[in-house]
């Protein structure tokens, strides 16, 4: 069996499972797997999800935070989900950011971003656009994330990756790069999982180095 066949078979499995369990996207399983490995969500957490349409990650986040607040933002409409607030808009615009700050009314425990650019077929350009979107997600974290908060963002690998990761390293106590099993084997996308938010400037007073933030990640498929 070829690697491509195995990848396509696995994706078909997650697609069928999403349909069976009434999840809006097979991407739901990526977030489940990330949470199962890295313990992202706690009961009662407040979560912001960027690039949230069609809502697969919102479903998972809401299930796992219970009565916590979950807000999704996307350029495309998101069909209603019970207990979830959605914003139709471009997070890179000041107007949408202000709406998010107004509706959130507090600080987030978790910032998620599954944003991706419209792929044009030129890999270096697609990668650069992906990193550009990730930097906006980092800006949202700067604005709304609590001390010791967590962030999970998707990015396409490429030559700008380490510049992005440095920005995240400067803000978080523990940062790892991970490819969930539900990701296509042929895909260049990976997820940066960051815990222990300490602020936007390296010179800020360090976040408390809690046991949760210090614990070692032992993840299959982790990238160094």
CA-wise closest residue to 174 among 141, 146, 149, 139: 149
Using DSSP's 3-state secondary structure scheme, residue 7 falls into helix
Task: Give the span between the Cα atoms of 8 and 176, in whole angstroms.
Answer: 26
Task: Give the span between the Cα atoms of 180 and 33, in whole angstroms.
Answer: 6
Which listed residue (154, 195, 220, 224) is catalytic? 154
CB-based contacts of 129, cutoff 8 Å, min separation 6: 117
H or E element at residue 147: strand 145-156
Tokens 């007073």 — which residue? 205
Compute CA 196 distance to the chain's CA centroid, rounded to the nearest angstrom. 15
Dihedral sign, CA of 104, 108, 112, 116? positive
Compute CA 182 distance to the chain's CA centroid, rounded to the nearest angstrom. 14
Compute CA 170 distance to the chain's CA centroid, rounded to the nearest angstrom. 18
* Active-site annotation holds for 154: yes
Task: Give the span between the Cα atoms of 17 and 1, in whole angstroms.
Answer: 22
Residues acting as catalytic residues: 154
């Amino acid at each position: 069996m070829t690697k491509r066949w195995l990848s396509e078979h696995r994706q078909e499995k997650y697609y069928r499972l999403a349909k069976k369990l009434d999840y809006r996207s097979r991407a739901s399983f990526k977030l489940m797997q990330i949470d199962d490995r890295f313990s992202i969500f706690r009961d009662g957490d407040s979560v912001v999800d960027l690039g949230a349409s069609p809502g697969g990650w919102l479903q998972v986040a809401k299930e796992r935070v219970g009565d916590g607040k979950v807000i999704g933002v996307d350029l495309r409409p998101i069909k209603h989900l019970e207990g979830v607030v959605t914003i139709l808009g471009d997070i890179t615009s000041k107007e949408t950011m202000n709406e998010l700050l107004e509706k959130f009314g507090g600080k987030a425990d978790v910032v998620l971003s599954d944003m991706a650019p419209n792929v044009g077929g030129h890999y270096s350009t697609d990668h650069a656009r992906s990193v550009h979107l990730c930097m906006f997600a980092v800006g949202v974290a700067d604005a709304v994330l609590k001390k010791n908060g967590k962030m999970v963002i998707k990015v396409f690998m490429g030559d700008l990756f380490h510049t992005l990761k440095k920005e995240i390293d400067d803000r978080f106590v523990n940062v790892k790069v991970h490819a969930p099993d539900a990701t296509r084997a042929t895909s260049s996308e990976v997820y940066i999982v960051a815990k222990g938010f300490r602020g936007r400037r390296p010179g800020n007073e360090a976040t408390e180095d809690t046991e949760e933030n210090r614990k070692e990640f032992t993840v299959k498929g982790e990238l160094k």
